């Protein structure tokens, strides 16, 4: 987990506020992902990025935006937070598919617990 | 649509007994399947994966999983459970059309009692 870090680890905010969650990795991976975890729903993909120039929407991108500032940094923003965005958010990285023995394995950060009041 | 399902929210087992955590999948084509474990206040950790080859896959911490194509299942198993195995377990499948996307199950909480 130390290879993928997330800040903050916990955040409480109010409805309508803008908030940014940050992710950094030292694994040298090109692929980075943002997921949210809700009880009983597992992990759902919000956005993913191939590299700094390539960002793609996942299953539940509405209400979220992302920025890939560098290979190592991938930020998730909630422009106007709402209570149903209360969840545990995970960043993950992976190697390019087809390269290396650990291809397809995702490496997760420790998560950010976000509460929107 | 591609997906995995974990039919049990929770599995309880006594320490020393064998454990099974169930997963079924729905994909068109050959599936790439994964198991991850999440300990409290931690991110998910990779346990094992099936891509091709032997139907029995061995992974970390003594876990293994059996791929069954006819039953479209990929159950996680361990011959002798430890209390320290108590955690949340997720099954996942890679998108067959977009190798960069993965779909996760809803998770199964494993409780191993002394």
Q: What is the pLDDT of residues A33-89, one digit of tens each?
A: 999 999 888 899 999 998 888 999 998 999 999 999 999 999 999 999 999 999 999
Which chain B residues are closer than 8 Å to A42 by Cβ? Answer: 6, 90, 104-107
A54 touches chain B (CB under 8 A): no
- Is A1 a residue whose pLDDT tops 60? no
Q: Position of tokens 């908030």?
A: A19
CB distance A90 to B43 below 8 Å? yes
Closest Cα in chain B to A10: B41
Query: Structure tokens of A110?
Result: 């420790």
Query: CB of B100 within 8 Å of any CB in chain A?
Result: yes
Chain B environment of A98 (Cβ under 8 Å): 99
| Percent of chain A with pLDDT strictly greater than 70 | 93
> Mean pLDDT score of chain B, rounded to an integer?
93
Beta strands A112-116; A10-13: pairing state: parallel
The pLDDT tens digits for B37-53 are 999 888 899 999 998 88
Q: Is A27 on the interface with B (CB under 8 A)?
A: no
B59 touches chain A (CB under 8 A): no
Interface test with B, best of A29, A42, A74 (most B CBs within 10 A): A42
Segment holding A87, helix H or strand E: strand A87-94
**Closest Cβ opposite residue A97 in set B34, B41, B99:** B99
């Amino acid at each position: 987990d130390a290879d993928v870090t997330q800040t903050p680890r916990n955040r409480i905010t109010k409805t309508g506020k803008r908030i940014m969650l940050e992710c950094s990795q030292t694994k040298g991976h090109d692929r980075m992902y943002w997921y949210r975890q809700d009880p009983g729903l597992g992990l759902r993909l919000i956005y993913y990025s191939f590299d700094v120039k390539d960002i793609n929407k996942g299953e539940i991108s509405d209400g979220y935006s992302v920025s890939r500032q560098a290979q190592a940094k991938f930020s998730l923003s909630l422009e106007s937070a709402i209570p149903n965005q209360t969840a545990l958010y995970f960043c993950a990285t992976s190697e390019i598919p087809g390269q290396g023995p650990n291809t397809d394995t995702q490496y997760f950060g420790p998560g950010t617990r976000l509460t929107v009041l | 649509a591609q997906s995995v399902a974990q039919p049990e929210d929770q599995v309880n087992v006594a320490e020393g007994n064998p454990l099974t955590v169930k997963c079924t999948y729905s994909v068109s084509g050959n599936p790439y399947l994964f198991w991850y474990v999440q300990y409290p206040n931690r991110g998910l950790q990779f346990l094992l994966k099936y891509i091709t080859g032997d139907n029995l896959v061995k992974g970390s911490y003594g876990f293994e999983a059996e791929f069954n194509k006819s039953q479209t299942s990929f159950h996680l198993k361990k011959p002798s459970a430890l209390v320290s195995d108590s955690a949340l377990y997720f099954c996942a499948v890679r998108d067959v059309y977009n190798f960069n996307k993965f779909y996760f199950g809803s998770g199964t909480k494993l409780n191993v009692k002394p």
